[in-house]
Homo-oligomer: A and B are copies of this chain.
């Protein structure tokens, strides 16, 4: 045993000796972080937070064994996938165990278009497997290469595919999960369809996801296209029109203001200076219709490529890796003086609201929107790049957006309750939390509205 481990961790490790564990402080510190550092606010709050040990179970039996020991010793547990979250989802606030799920990566079954997958498989693995069967993931994040299915359900849920299928919260996009509970005698529970809402985007506070059942879509041979426009308004109008064009199969449509494309390594050199662009993934047979639509908005198709070939070729970048929060990452690689926001524009007046926000903050914000469906309606979300000055200024911008009728999913907070999507954690979720984690040991500090059941206080 390395020095410096607390007695409770030493006791735990001796009880689960058959499970892979890592106590090297450097590695534990690495696995205590996620991508919260995109936010200067979270960086201040979360830097230095760390767990005490990384435990990496290989199957559900080992998960239950570890959780049982953690309950006995009142040790907090933070489930972790690829660590790609931007909200500190995987950052332990109270030490304890980091439960690294990445050894559990099998695909267990596939029937009626629904794949059952162990939580630690990466979305890239699952999509590659699916394509061999003629299917594909409905949704994936821009971090597809490293993000896991369990992490996507627990801490993500939007991204590429949202223009066709909406988010992971739309009915039908999540067929179910299996979780391990944090009861005195931990057990597996199966949650189907609507029941799975109890763990969807709950940061692992309501059970450790061990399996995910994902409905897939029939595979398409998507084409990556980059279209440039004389101005942002034309690009945005084209993007929304493409989103509304129900006859054009599409997987993605990002509207990206200049100078953001100049930061895109491997793509920038193919694009004209000074022109906003749209990056999209469209059906291979629809290029003619897309060309018509682009021309009607003053657009020029600058380049296209086969998405799957680009994804499989180390020298190439599939265009989705320039979208969603990868846009931000591409800029952060060269300029650490920026951060970002997450906005959702009201359907029906999407373009007006985008223009209003863009014009108001033109000196400190570079606009980047994503066309997506929410609640059955096509609109745009945005991940604009914001010049970082102070937390106060960021909160002013957020307030101004909200005053404009634009919803803000603040990416500079780390609790479920502060997240705009979760201003209230519903009573049904609280009841579920109390049932599956009565001691409040799962990712403590992330669901702040939870209070432990009387007489259930954890002992130190």
Contact = CB atoms under 8 A, between A and B. Distances in A.
A170 B376 contact: no
Interface in A159-173: 164-166, 170-173
B284 A248 contact: no
Contacts of A291: 193
A219 to B, nearest CB: 7
Contact of A170 (B113, B172, B243, B246): B246
A114 interface: yes
Contacts of A172: 245-249, 283, 286, 289-290
A170 B245 contact: yes
Contacts of A249: 113, 172, 215, 217
A122 to B, nearest CB: 22
B376 A244 contact: yes
Copies in the complex: 2
Contacts of A221: 112
A244 B348 CA distance: 15
A375 interface: yes
Contact of A289 (B138, B171, B375): B171
A194 B290 CA distance: 10
Contact of A193 (B165, B194, B220, B288): B288
Nearest to A169: B247
A215 B375 contact: no
Contact of A283 (B113, B170, B220): B113
Contacts of A272: none
Interface in A165-217: 165-166, 170-176, 192-194, 215, 217
A373 interface: yes
Q: Which of A134, A170, A289, A293 has the most chain B CB within a 10 Å cutoff?
A: A289
A194 B247 CA distance: 12
A202 to B, nearest CB: 19
A292 interface: yes
Contacts of A174: 247
Interface residues of A, number: 48
A298 interface: no
B175 A288 contact: yes
Given A218-B218, A243-B376, A285 B114 contact: yes
Given A113-B283, A114-B285, A246 B376 contact: yes
A275 B74 CA distance: 55
A247 B289 contact: no
A175 B286 CA distance: 8
A225 to B, nearest CB: 14
Nearest to A250: B172
A383 interface: no
Nearest to A244: B376
Interface in A24-71: none
Given A193-B292, A219-B218, A220-B218, A247 B166 contact: yes
Contacts of A289: 171-172, 175, 193-194
Nearest to A111: B285
B284 A246 contact: no
A349 to B, nearest CB: 12
A176 B248 CA distance: 14
A378 interface: yes
Given A171-B293, A283-B113, A285-B114, A247 B376 contact: no
A325 B172 CA distance: 29
12 contacts: A165-B246, A166-B246, A170-B246, A171-B293, A172-B248, A173-B246, A174-B247, A193-B289, A215-B247, A244-B376, A246-B373, A376-B378
Minimum-distance CB pairs A-B, first 10: A244-B376, A172-B247, A218-B218, A173-B247, A166-B246, A172-B248, A112-B285, A172-B289, A170-B247, A113-B285
Given A113-B220, A172-B248, A193-B291, 20 more contacts: A112-B284, A113-B285, A164-B246, A166-B247, A170-B245, A170-B247, A171-B245, A171-B247, A172-B249, A174-B247, A176-B288, A193-B288, A215-B286, A217-B249, A218-B218, A218-B220, A243-B376, A244-B376, A377-B377, A377-B378
